[in-house]
Amino acid sequence: MVAVTGYGIGALVFRGPRPAGLAWGLVGVLSTLAILALTGLWRASWLAPFVFSLAGLVFLMWWARILPRTDRDWAGDVSRVFHVEQAGSCVTIHNVRDFDWRTREDFTERWVTRDYDIDTACSVDLVLSYWAGPHIAHALVSFGFTDGRHLCFSVEVRRVSGGQFSALGGLFRQCELVVIAAEERDIVRTRANVRGERVYLYRVAMPTDDIRALLRSYLATGQALADQPRFYNTLTANCTTLIYDMVAPIVPGVPWNWRLLVPGHLPAYLYRLGALTNDLPLSEITARGQINAAARAWDRAEPARRASFSIAIRKDIPVPRLERIG
């Protein structure tokens, strides 16, 4: 009963009716009913527990009616979802994000169309952006192609315009889920240079066939979310659990681990699996993988003399030997 009441209070706070005073009023009613129900059980009286059960049934009926949507007034950086046209191994991806960021709120919005041949995907990298201490990070996955281009995917909270993300609210259907496909100079650069987060890039050892299968899975997952939206969930549907859900069918036997819920510790998980180079200690791989200095240097360089952002941030990052993950 205590757990049910606690979840109900959270649901009312984050998804309850507005104005907020009404939601807090319902929180008061629910809390009072819970106290009376517990008191009734203690006194062997069933009236209050019965009333609480009816209130719980009403809550469940209301909760079931809260469904994910695609038609909200979305924040600009998550306002579009990519969609794919495919002919064999060749794909055309519409709505690839390629923003030019100056500050968190000041940016030039640009959505582009890109053509790729999945059969030319040849590398996969994990990007971790630490935004709240050593344990909390956002995970992105970037695919490299034989022509030198990279395409980066990010599983994100789809915020409404003016909305803020709350990890606690993420347990209560606060926001939908979206997969963003983007250029690295947009989605990686903004985290390193504009937001000032600590960003690390890890080259992942993965057979080529598995890399291409994972890319196909990302494209299919993003398309599925565009057709059938889902809610983000801080524990069960986030930036790492979805990655695991896509990798698990491709790499049989890859184990679940608590580090998937604490993304800041993902490098240790991958290192133990043999997915990172084992020629160096993890501490050195991590130190060499921090890309903030390289990203800032790229910003300071004259545009005419700039190398590719993707090339610049990978300089001196060790490439692992290929060994089967597991």
Give the structural domain span for 35: 2-64
Does residue 128 sit within a domain? yes
Task: Give pLDDT tens digits for 266-310.
Answer: 999 999 999 997 789 999 999 999 999 999 999 988 776 666 899
Residues 92, 48: one domain?
no
Task: Give pLDDT tens digits for 181-229.
Answer: 999 999 999 999 999 999 999 999 999 999 999 999 999 999 999 999 9
Residue 187's nearest CA partner among 282, 82, 302 is: 82
Does residue 276 sit within a domain? yes
User: What is the token pair recorded at 113?
Assistant: 């169309």
Looking at the chain, the whole-number percentage of residues with pLDDT higher than 90 is 64
Q: What angle do CA 101, 103, 107 make, to 5 degrees?
A: 40
Last residue within a domain, chosen from 64, 84, 109: 64
Q: How far apart are CA 124 and CA 121, in angstroms?
A: 8
Q: pTM value?
A: 0.89
On the 0-12 / 13-18 / 19+ scale of CB atoms within 10 A, 62 is middle
**Where does the pLDDT of residue 37 fall: very low under 50, low under 70, confident under 90, or very high at 90 and above?**
low
Residue written as token pair 């979305």 = 74
Q: How far apart are CA 313 and CA 190, in angstroms?
A: 13
Mean pLDDT of the chain: 88
In this structure, which amino acid lies at residue 11? A
**Where does the pLDDT of residue 62 fall: very low under 50, low under 70, confident under 90, or very high at 90 and above?**
confident
Looking at the chain, the whole-number percentage of residues with pLDDT higher than 70 is 86
Task: Give pLDDT tens digits for 70-120.
Answer: 999 999 999 999 999 999 999 999 999 999 999 999 999 999 999 999 999
Q: How far apart are CA 137 and CA 191, in angstroms?
A: 11
Does residue 160 sit within a domain? yes
- For the chain, the domain total comes to 2
Rounded average pLDDT over 169-180: 92
Residues 284, 158: one domain?
yes
Q: How far apart are CA 25 and CA 62, in angstroms?
A: 16
Rounded average pLDDT over 121-139: 94
Residues 20, 145: one domain?
no
Q: What kind and span of H or E run contains 41?
A: helix 20-42
Residues 188, 238: one domain?
yes
Does residue 221 sit within a domain? yes
Does residue 121 sit within a domain? yes
Residue written as token pair 């599925």 = 224
**pLDDT for position 214:** 98
Does residue 319 sit within a domain? no
Does residue 125 sit within a domain? yes
Does residue 306 sit within a domain? yes
Rounded average pLDDT over 57-71: 88
Residues 122, 271: one domain?
yes
**pLDDT for position 305:** 63
164 against 212, higher pLDDT = 212
**pLDDT for position 26:** 66
**pLDDT for position 72:** 93
For residue 178, pLDDT over 70 is answered with yes
**pLDDT for position 279:** 84
Residue 9's nearest CA partner among 184, 172, 118, 235 is: 172
Residues 51, 200: one domain?
no
Whether 68 contacts 230, CB under 8 Å? yes
